[in-house]
Structure 1
């Protein structure tokens, strides 16, 4: 099955987002999002807007230097589901690796309007 131009563009956008995160290029990361983005991740209140997202990436984010490795992406309409592994350092000095699943919704300009991430860790 071949990708449509939209599917290819959205896959590249998600990969570019993770590449910018891994370079700690917050300005590039933020350029991937719409101004009224809604970002959800376990352990944090929902983050709304670019200002809140900048504060998260430059302050409260617990991850330090690391690398995202995407294993699979599924694209449907303007939505992407991604699955992969993150490994790297924590801001508290520790080191970890964990699986994740992330879900993205895009607007017509190709910017992320919603992003939700889940982690593969023991919980219940």
Structure 2
């Protein structure tokens, strides 16, 4: 059985190190990613475009405080510190990752900011 807690840690490590190819390998081809204040990202091509060109957060890192796994779902609570729109930011987040066949098929992000 896949260790979903380990997989979500791999995700945050890849994001923080800007390893986009490694990050994309964690997701299903038909992934759906919902985040605050934005339309959903649908499919791996849109996800790649987001991480390569459209992500408003940069020069940052995630600190994961908790990962709770229930079946094929992993809930994560943490903090992000970095830059958004040229300004230093730090905020809390909660993400839910839904796995299918060992890959992230759905992802939901919640933050205490209007958009990320």
Using the size of structure 1 for normalisation, the TM-score is 0.87
CA distance in 2, matches of 1:14, 1:34: 14
**Which of the pair is proportionally richer in strand?**
2
Say yes or no: does 1:106 pair with 2:111.
no
Larger RCO (alpha carbons 8 Å, 6+ apart): 2
Query: How many residues end up aligned between the 2 structures?
Result: 114
Q: Within 5 A, what are the aligned runs for 1:10-49? A: 10-49=4-43
1:30-89 CA-partner distances (Å, limit 9, x unpaired):
110000001000121111111000111112210011110000011000000000000012
What corresponds to 1:97 in structure 2?
90
Q: Secondary structure at the match of 1:24?
A: coil
Using the size of structure 2 for normalisation, the TM-score is 0.93
Which of residues 36, 55, 62 is equivalent to 1:61?
55
Where does the alignment leave 5 or more consecutive residues of structure 1 unmatched?
none
Q: CA RMSD in A?
A: 1.3
Where does the alignment leave 5 or more consecutive residues of structure 2 unmatched?
none
- Structure having the higher Rg: 1
